[in-house]
């Protein structure tokens, strides 16, 4: 039986535990020019890496067109992959995008991204989850503060903190349209949460999460040790953040929509076990239990060919 290094969903008072896993798992020479010594030090200490305008405007345009296609596809909207806003009914998230889109499947295998992720995680990776996050203008709802790892550990059975979340801005992430907020350094601590996981919790939590979120006191403590930062930038910017980094976003009451492609890369040495605090496994489109190492591909070349064919 796999040891539970990070117990959560406990009864009574919840503690803040120290991280028991390395932050950077790779060693030796770095083949990726983005990972300078300073960048690696920042990721180790602060838990995230922000790459402004990582993708060119022509690449972003192809992603945006594909986003529009998926959002308007009735077959996708009516499928189990789509999550809608609790009040407006607008699409909030589309999961497993790599299974319904050649563009996002190619993006998840982009050699530029995989070079970074493989070094951070120390070897081959697979796609634990992919999705599109859509925060429409005027009534886009917030995502409350949480650590992704807490959910992946308790409800999916991810044993260790050896995964990286990648958020690619498909629209400009501005200071006022509900961009992601992070607490630098919070990845070094694990906030236990209280309350037993409800049966089939994911059906509610994808719309509004009430379990697996830190207490006010835990959040206050994390912020007191650090600050709140908003890594904002134009479409095409990339935010890579450690799986245990505390993050969240405000609602969007502006006319400017915010949309992001989101990939979760997990080490092939960190595959899922039985959930640590849930009676049921989450479905395939939330937690991949058939890991296949990702083979890198030339995303830029693939997109150029796609544009040429459609011209």
Report the phi/psi class of residue 96: left, alpha or beta, with left for phi > 0 and alpha for psi in -120 to 50.
Answer: left
222 vs 189: CA distance, rounded Å: 8
Tens of pLDDT, residues 227-274: 999 999 999 999 999 999 999 998 888 888 889 999 999 999 999 999
| pLDDT for residue 200 | 55
Which one has a higher pLDDT value, 192 or 87? 192
> Out of 11-20, 69-78, 99-108, 134-143, which region has the weakest mean confidence (pLDDT)?
134-143
Q: 260: exposed, middle or buried (C-beta count within 10 Å: 0-12, 13-18, 19+)? A: buried
pTM: 0.93
Query: Of the given ranges (12-16, 57-61, 133-137, 143-147), which has the lowest mean pLDDT?
Result: 133-137
What confidence tens digit (pLDDT) does each residue in 108-126 have? Answer: 999 999 999 999 999 999 9
Of the pLDDT bands very low, low, confident and very high (cuts 50, 70, 90), residue 88 is: low
More confident residue, 136 or 273: 273
CA 73: distance to chain centroid?
23
**Topology adopted by domain 16-22+47-310:** Jelly Rolls (2.60.120)
More confident residue, 301 or 167: 167
Tens of pLDDT, residue by residue over 44-56, are 999 999 999 999 9
**For 203-226, what is each residue's pLDDT tens digit?**
565 555 666 889 999 999 999 999
Residue 219: φ, ψ to 5°: -65, -45
Token couple for 223? 């912020």
CB-side neighbour CA atoms (13 Å) of 27: 1
């Amino acid at each position: 039986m796999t040891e539970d290094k990070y117990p959560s969903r406990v009864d009574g008072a919840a503690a803040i535990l120290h991280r028991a896993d390395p932050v950077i798992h790779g060693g030796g020479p770095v083949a990726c020019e983005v990972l300078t010594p300073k960048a690696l030090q920042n990721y180790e200490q602060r838990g995230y890496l922000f790459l402004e305008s990582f993708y060119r405007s022509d690449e972003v345009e192809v992603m945006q067109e594909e986003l529009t296609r998926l959002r308007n596809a009735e077959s996708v909207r009516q499928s189990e992959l789509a999550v809608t806003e609790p009040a407006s009914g607008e699409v909030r998230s589309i999961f497993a995008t790599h299974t319904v889109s050649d563009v996002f499947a190619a993006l998840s295998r982009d050699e530029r991204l995989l070079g970074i992720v493989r070094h951070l995680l120390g070897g081959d990776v697979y796609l634990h989850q992919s999705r599109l996050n859509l925060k429409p203008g005027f009534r886009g709802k917030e995502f409350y503060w949480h650590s992704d790892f807490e959910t992946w550990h308790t409800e999916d059975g991810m044993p260790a903190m050896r995964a990286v979340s990648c958020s690619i801005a498909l629209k400009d992430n501005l200071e006022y349209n509900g961009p992601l907020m992070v607490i630098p350094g919070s990845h070094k601590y694990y906030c236990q949460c209280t309350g037993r996981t409800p049966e089939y919790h994911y059906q509610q939590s994808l719309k509004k999460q009430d379990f697996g979120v830190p207490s006010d006191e835990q959040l206050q403590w994390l912020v007191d040790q650090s600050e709140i930062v908003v890594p904002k930038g134009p479409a095409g910017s990339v935010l890579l953040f450690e799986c245990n980094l505390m993050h969240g976003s405000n609602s969007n009451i502006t006319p400017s929509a915010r949309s992001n492609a989101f990939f979760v890369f997990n080490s092939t040495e960190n595959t899922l076990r039985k959930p640590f605090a849930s009676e049921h496994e989450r479905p395939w489109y939330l937690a991949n239990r058939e890991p296949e190492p990702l083979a890198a591909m030339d995303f830029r070349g693939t997109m150029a060919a796609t544009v040429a064919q459609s011209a």
